[in-house]
Structure 1
Amino acid sequence: MPTNHQFEVFYDGECPLCMREIRWFQRLDKQQNILFTDITADAFDADELGLDMPTMMARIHGRLPDGTLVTGVEVFRRLYTAVGWRWPVAASRLPGVRQLLDLGYRVFAKNRLRLTGRCDGDRCAVN
């Protein structure tokens, strides 16, 4: 990961809902603190991260400059921090709020292919 980025987000470029949010973060990222990596691009290789595509598709992933991988709601906390929106991050860590966000994201991630009309056989079997 280039050192001039605070965070790298790995996103599903074929997911319409995901792309809407990614485009929003791209507009907010005036300082170019975020490296955006589409996991559906031909050049992407999950093996370079020590992961496989089903794992990458199961939930959102991100990478810190030191190579540490983060997943789920923590990715969104890092994105908001990178664009200078610290108040949603603080709110997301409040007792009760944290658990609700984690649960909501797990439900969404498990059903996102179905919710975005992208089911075709085994593709909805995201764990």
Structure 2
Amino acid sequence: MNGEVSNDWQVEVFYDGECPLCLREIKLLRRLDRKDRICFTDIADSSFSPSCFGMTMKDFMDEIQGRLPNGEWITGVEVFRRLYAAVGLKPVVALSRLPGISHGLEFGYRVFARNRLRLTGRCDDGTCKVN
């Protein structure tokens, strides 16, 4: 954790601080997190060590990761649901759980996650393709 956490945090988010789209979302969440319910951990920070969590950097880069206070790991859209709930946007979270919307969000996030390096201009070796 980055030392900017209260004792009342509800979710820790592991985000890529070098991803422009990810940073926009994190900046919004920081503004909305008036009660310090989110612990923000930048996986692009040089001090970040994925092995401390028993994971690889690829694990963190492939899909957004989150951790709950009890140590449970969450991934993908569920991380965003927990983040939005932590800042008081529970009606948005409830909508995101509706069957058609939930499936659409899961699909959309998987497509984004597989292609985010290319979409954010960080695919310099030409190996990134839209999947």
The TM-score, its normalising length taken from structure 1, stands at 0.93
Distance 1:83 1:122 in 2: 38
Equivalent residue for 1:109, pick from 96, 99, 113: 113
What does 1:32-51 correspond to in 2, within 5 Å?
32-51=36-55
**Structure 2 stretches lacking a partner, 5+ long:** none
Equivalent residue for 1:54, pick from 47, 55, 58: 58
Identical residues among aligned pairs (%): 58
Aligned residues: 126
The answer on 1:5 being equivalent to 2:9 is yes
Equivalent residue for 2:25, pick from 21, 25, 33: 21
The TM-score, its normalising length taken from structure 2, stands at 0.90
Distance 1:23 1:15 in 2: 12
**Structure 1 stretches lacking a partner, 5+ long:** none
Distance 1:28 1:59 in 2: 23
